[in-house]
Amino acid sequence: MGHKVHPNGFRLGVYRNWEAKWFAPDKEFKPLLLEDVRLRRMLMIRLKNAGLARIETERSSSALTITLHTAKPGIVIGKGGTSVDQLRDELEKITGKRVRVTIQEIKKPELSAQLVAENVAAQLEKRIAFRRAIKQSLMKTMRAGAQGVKIRVKGRLGGSEMARVEWNREGRVPLHTLKADIDFGQTEAKTTFGRIGVSAWVYTGNFPTEAAPKPTAAVDEPADAGVPIGAALVEPATPLAELVHAAVPAPAPAPAAEAPAPVAATPAPEAPAKPKRATRAKATATTTAEGGEKVAPKRTTRAKTAATAGAASDAPKTPRTRTAKKKE
């Protein structure tokens, strides 16, 4: 079986704060908890059309502070604040303490999971097809700036005899990521076929963590005179240095050395021409004529060597005698 973790309870104390901020000893804890539950149910029923998304309670020794997060604060306040005054009087009668009511407006109701679920439930009660209701809510939430949204409906959808589960999702909803800011809300749609449960998950990004260290700012060049950075960082000359520089005269430039008179260029002696190399035929002729040496005979051609080899092969071969081996 799958073990589902409530997204709000999964992040309590890490990234999300409690909705009930009060402490009581052991004997007083039970009645105060039951009183808190009754107050929340009464407020949800009375302010059903005001777009109430969340209720926060904070108790002190003699006072009770209730913060209402609503998308329509005008309905809660009423004309001239009459509705708030009536609500405060009823709460004081129930609790017997001084009650302070604070109202906070939700600027983007499309990003509140509770309001998204209530919107789908209201459409289901008006006999609108559940797939169309889910698709419209998904599109509105994504246009409002959410990174992901998931809506699930459970029950006798479309009046079928057997209950089933249908869901749809847009974007990404990382339920296992602890730093992901995921809002969860659920409600029920009361139809003629029975109750249909509606759940919504809205992912708006990650919770802000520690900011990264800022990089060191680069040194900008002075824009007034267009001087480069190296020249701008040099220290200006002091008045004492200027006086010393004015008192000591600059050394006179040394006279340029006289250039030597130009010497007439003498023509270089011409190199004797090298004798031409004699060919091999002429060299052999000269050696025979002068020294009286004999000229080497010419090399026999391939045809003559083949003829001599053929004449030698025509000669009869003498048979080779074999000596018989003696048997011992």
Q: Answer whether residue 290 is part of any domain.
A: no
For residues 134 and 85, state if they share a domain.
no
C-alpha distances (whole Å) from 144 to each of 119, 202, 282 are 15, 11, 108
Return the pLDDT at 237.
Answer: 53
Same domain for 156 and 101, yes or no, is no
* Residue that finishes a domain, picked among 148, 181, 206: 206
Quick one: pLDDT at residue 18? Answer: 92
Q: What gap in Å lies between CA 63 and CA 85, rounded to an integer?
A: 16
Question: What's the alpha-carbon Rg for the chain, to the nearest Å?
Answer: 55
Residues 122 and 77 in one domain: no
Residues 93, 163 within the same domain: no
Q: Which residues of the chain have pLDDT under 70?
A: 1-2, 210-328
Domain with residue 84: its CATH number is: 3.30.300.20
For residue 140, the domain's CATH number is: 3.30.1140.32
User: Does 154 reside within a domain?
Assistant: yes
| Segment 216-263, tens digit of pLDDT | 655 454 555 555 555 445 455 555 556 555 555 555 555 555 555 555
For residue 134, the 8-state DSSP code is: H
Q: Is residue 308 part of a domain?
A: no
**Position 304 in a domain:** no
Residue 309 resides in a domain: no
How far apart are alpha carbons 66 and 92 in whole angstroms? Answer: 12
In terms of residue numbers, what domain contains 69? 7-107
Q: How many domains does the chain have?
A: 2
Tell me, yes or no, whether 118 and 84 share the same domain.
no
Question: What dihedral angle (degrees, nearest 10) is formed by the CA atoms of 292, 298, 299, 303?
Answer: -160
pLDDT tens column, 142-168: 999 999 999 999 999 999 999 999 999
**Mean pLDDT, all residues of the chain:** 79
- Angstrom CA distances, 93 to 96, 215, 315, stand at 5, 59, 152
Same domain, 44 and 81: yes
Say which amino acid occupies 250: A
Domain termination residue (choose one: 206, 235, 260): 206
Residue 240 belongs to a domain: no
Judged by DSSP in three states, 241 sits in helix
Of 74, 107, 140, the residue that ends a domain is: 107
Give phi and psi for 233, each to the nearest 5.
Answer: -85, -10
* pLDDT at position 212: 56
